[in-house]
Amino acid sequence: MVPHVTALPVVVPFITAAVLVILRPLSRRWVNDAVSIAGVTTVIVLCAILLERSARRPFAYWMGGFKPVHDVTIGISLSLDPLGAGLALFSAVLVLASLAYSAHYFDAVDGLFHALMLLFGAAMVGFSLTGDLFNLIVFFELMGAAAYALTGYLIEERAPIQGAINFAITNSIAGYAMFIGVALLYARTGALNMAQIGLALDRHGADPLVVVAMVLLFIGFLTKAAAVPVHFWLADAHAVAPVPVCVLFSGVMIELGVYAVARLYWVIFAGPMHPHMAALRAILVAVGVVTALLGALMCFQQRHIKRLLAFSSIAHIGVFICGIGLLSARALAGVAVYVVGQGLTKGALFMTTGVLLHRFKTVDEYELHGRGREIPVVGVLLAIGGLMLAALPPFTLFAGKSLLEDSAASAGYGWLIVVFVIASVATGAAILRVTGRVFLGCGPADAPGAGQARAARVTEEEMQDRPDHTPPMMVVVPVLLLVLTVAVALIPGAVPAVEEAAARFTDHAAYARWVLAGQAVHWPAVAPSHISAADVLYSAGSVLGAVVLAAFGLFGRPLRRRVPAAIGVPWLRALHTLRDLHSGHIGDYIAWWTAGTSLLGAICLLTLA
């Protein structure tokens, strides 16, 4: 009934990593590449099998055979539903893509890089599959340990060290907050399995203890997801990590934080929070809106392309948090589709940036002015990516965004559509502006902000030599990712299948039944949503808006001078303040973290308990 291979997607990369380390003195670069790629490919096959099985019927796999007796369990389960399994598959695909990309990208330190990437992948897969709250945190910490080291990979540089330190400290504190959350829930329910905790809380209802536990767990995962105001680490870390690692950070790691919030809500807190759904929805949507707008604003400000992409990820995370916060199955389906499209596109964009870094040793937009003309193919990729981010119909990001917009409208949050459009316009426009400046030589070649230019240059030995020759793999992989972005939502039945999966994911009562009792649950068929004319209109508008905004970014300097000082000066001052807040000082970040946590806690205690 339950596939025997269920544990293997986590175990295979563990074994592969250990073997790589044992054989490190003997192995050659190509052996490391081949072994790690083979390991990840196995994981992909296994995840695909599990996805297929769980789509037919979700199931729990009990480690060591410690099955629950009368709904009480002491064992650890992997609880597989199609959304979790799909996310595991998606993580594995991105790991494969970045390993393939890095095979010709840089001189990886003999095997250590590969082993860490495998462990990172294993952690993401385990995180998506596990049904045990504490196990979830173990995988969170494993993901962290591998990610901190990978961020600081380029030890010859300043920025990666600082980025890794801020990343590690912020995420560790988030982890401790989650430990306290788990402790509170364990004290209340005597359980660590998420389904069992949810079942126990259904009987108790919400009280301050449950609310505080929820706040601590949510803030922990929102820190991973980089929600405002606990997002500060992200730009530091994503701007400096090696490109193949950035692909995983932006493409799937931070999205896993959002996934965990959704999972915890629907499995654990949906029962006690049911009477307060409207308030919780308002709180989460507010967090999402602030995150999306700040990300969009900061994204368009950047000239350091990797930092620009990092802030565009924050904008998208804001959109995802809004989607989760709507607390409906359809919005969740929208987020799932959007995550896949965004992850693939963002991965391709980071890889494209990697080509620029490889060839010109800088990712500063102004320094690269017009220099991209020698590699027009890369420019085409960048432009396509920009249009995708602007939600060009009828591709994957558009499909996800339409679902989100429909469910926002039907939840009475129609104004959210404006936020979604702003996020699409700003992130798309920023990429199109870079394309215009770097590959077409549009706009001026100089601008204030020499500090950022210096930071964008590299002196390290990250790359292999021969920069005038771009290895074909570095173009092939992003092309494949963009092809997937185009294709996924166009596969007949793909989006309805995600809607089906989201409906199962959000069925709080059924989850406890299929996990703890192993019962088959019969869900009613979900009527697939249809794309309305309004959706196409919004997206056409956002693509157009992105093009116009990009043009403004390139040619708008004369226009900007005409803005009256009464508006222009305070606006610039506000932008400056905002930029200064992203100071890189870990003390600042933790002070903001504390402020965000206590604010969220206070609001939740006042409205939800």
Partner 1 sequence: MSFLPYAVAAWLFGVGLWGVVSSRHMVRTIISLAVVQSATYVLLLAIGYRSGGQAPIAADIPPVAKLVDPTVQVLVLTDVVIEATVSALLLALVIQAHKRFGSVDPSDLRPLRD
Partner 2 sequence: MSRRARLTLFAIAGPGLAAVLIIGFRGLPAFGDYHDVYGLVVNGVELSMRHATDYVTALNFDVRAFDTLGEEYILFASVLGVTLLLRVMRGEDEEYRAAEHGMSGSSDAVRLAALLLIPSLIALGVYLVIHGALTPGGGFQGGIVLAAAPAAILIAGRYLELKVLCPTRAIEAAEGIGALGYCLLGLGGLIFASVYFKNFLPAGNPGQLLSAGFMPLNSIAVGLEVMGAFLIVWTAFLDQALLVRRRTGEAT
- Identify residues 430-469 at the interface with partner 2 (CB under 8 A): 461
Q: Interface with partner 2 includes 212 (CB under 8 A)?
A: yes
In whole angstroms, the minimum distance from the beta carbon of 506 to partner 2 comes to 26
Q: Interface with partner 2 includes 510 (CB under 8 A)?
A: no
* Residue 468 or 580 with smaller CB distance to partner 2: 580
CB atoms within 10 A of CB 205: 13
| Backbone torsions φ then ψ of 124, nearest 5 degrees | -65, -40
Q: Interface with partner 2 includes 153 (CB under 8 A)?
A: yes
Contact positions with partner 1 (CB under 8 A) in 227-246? 236, 239
Using the structure block, give the residue that is written with the tokens 């798309």: 428
In whole angstroms, the minimum distance from the beta carbon of 475 to partner 1 comes to 29
Q: Interface with partner 2 includes 287 (CB under 8 A)?
A: no
Selected from 29, 38, 107, 155, the binder of partner 2 by CB under 8 A is 155
In whole angstroms, the minimum distance from the beta carbon of 254 to partner 2 comes to 19
Contact positions with partner 1 (CB under 8 A) in 302-331? 304, 307
Selected from 88, 122, 339, 608, the binder of partner 2 by CB under 8 A is 122
- CA distance linking residue 544 with residue 538, whole number of Å: 10
567, amino acid identity? I
Torsion of CA 583, 304, 173, 343, to 10 degrees: 150
Question: What residues pair up with 60 in beta bridges, in sequence order?
Answer: 79
- Residues ≥6 apart with Cβ < 8 Å to 424: 389, 390, 391, 397, 401, 539, 542, 546
- CA distance linking residue 398 with residue 406, whole number of Å: 12
- Residues ≥6 apart with Cβ < 8 Å to 609: 206, 207, 208, 210, 211
Closest CA to 97 of 528, 477, 468, 580: 477
Q: Interface with partner 2 includes 520 (CB under 8 A)?
A: no
Binding mask of the shown chain, residues 153 to 182, with x at each position contacting partner 1 by CB under 8 A = --x-xxx-xx-xx--xx--xx-xx--xx-x
In whole angstroms, the minimum distance from the beta carbon of 78 to partner 2 comes to 9
Find which of partner 1, partner 2, none residue 158 binds, CB within 5 to 8 Å per kind: partner 1
In whole angstroms, the minimum distance from the beta carbon of 228 to partner 2 comes to 15
Closest CA to 367 of 306, 292, 460, 454: 454
Interface region with partner 2, contact rule CB under 8 A, candidates 43-51, 72-80, 282-290, 373-381: 72-80
Contact positions with partner 1 (CB under 8 A) in 447-486? 449-452, 455
Interface region with partner 2, contact rule CB under 8 A, candidates 36-44, 95-103, 202-210, 371-379: 202-210
Q: Interface with partner 1 includes 152 (CB under 8 A)?
A: yes
Closest CA to 326 of 443, 416, 420, 430: 416
Q: What single-letter DSSP state applies at residue 449?
A: -
Q: Please count the residues of this chain forming the interface with partner 1, following the rule CB under 8 A.
A: 46
Find which of partner 1, partner 2, none residue 447 binds, CB within 5 to 8 Å per kind: none
Contact positions with partner 1 (CB under 8 A) in 58-117? none
In whole angstroms, the minimum distance from the beta carbon of 149 to partner 2 comes to 3
Q: Interface with partner 1 includes 45 (CB under 8 A)?
A: no
Question: What residues pair up with 77 in beta bridges, in sequence order?
Answer: 62
- CA distance linking residue 49 with residue 46, whole number of Å: 5
Are the C-beta atoms of residues 126 and 63 closer than 8 Å to each other? Answer: no
CB atoms within 10 A of CB 578: 13
**What H or E segment, with its residue span, contains residue 94?**
helix 82-102
Find which of partner 1, partner 2, none residue 524 binds, CB within 5 to 8 Å per kind: none
Tokens representing 353 are 């940036």
- CA distance linking residue 516 with residue 499, whole number of Å: 24
Helices assigned H by DSSP within 23-80: 29-56
Tokens representing 452 are 């950022």
* Residue 494 or 592 with smaller CB distance to partner 1: 592
* Residue 188 or 457 with smaller CB distance to partner 2: 188
Q: Interface with partner 2 includes 18 (CB under 8 A)?
A: yes
* Residue 497 or 590 with smaller CB distance to partner 2: 590
- CA distance linking residue 554 with residue 430, whole number of Å: 10
Q: What single-letter DSSP state applies at residue 563?
A: S
Selected from 282, 483, 574, 599, the binder of partner 2 by CB under 8 A is 599
Q: What single-letter DSSP state applies at residue 53?
A: H
- Which spans of this chain sit near partner 1 (rule: CB under 8 A)? 134, 138, 141, 144-145, 148-149, 152, 155, 157-159, 161-162, 164-165, 168-169, 172-173, 175-176, 179-180, 182-183, 186-187, 192, 236, 239, 304, 307, 449-452, 455, 583-587, 590-591, 594
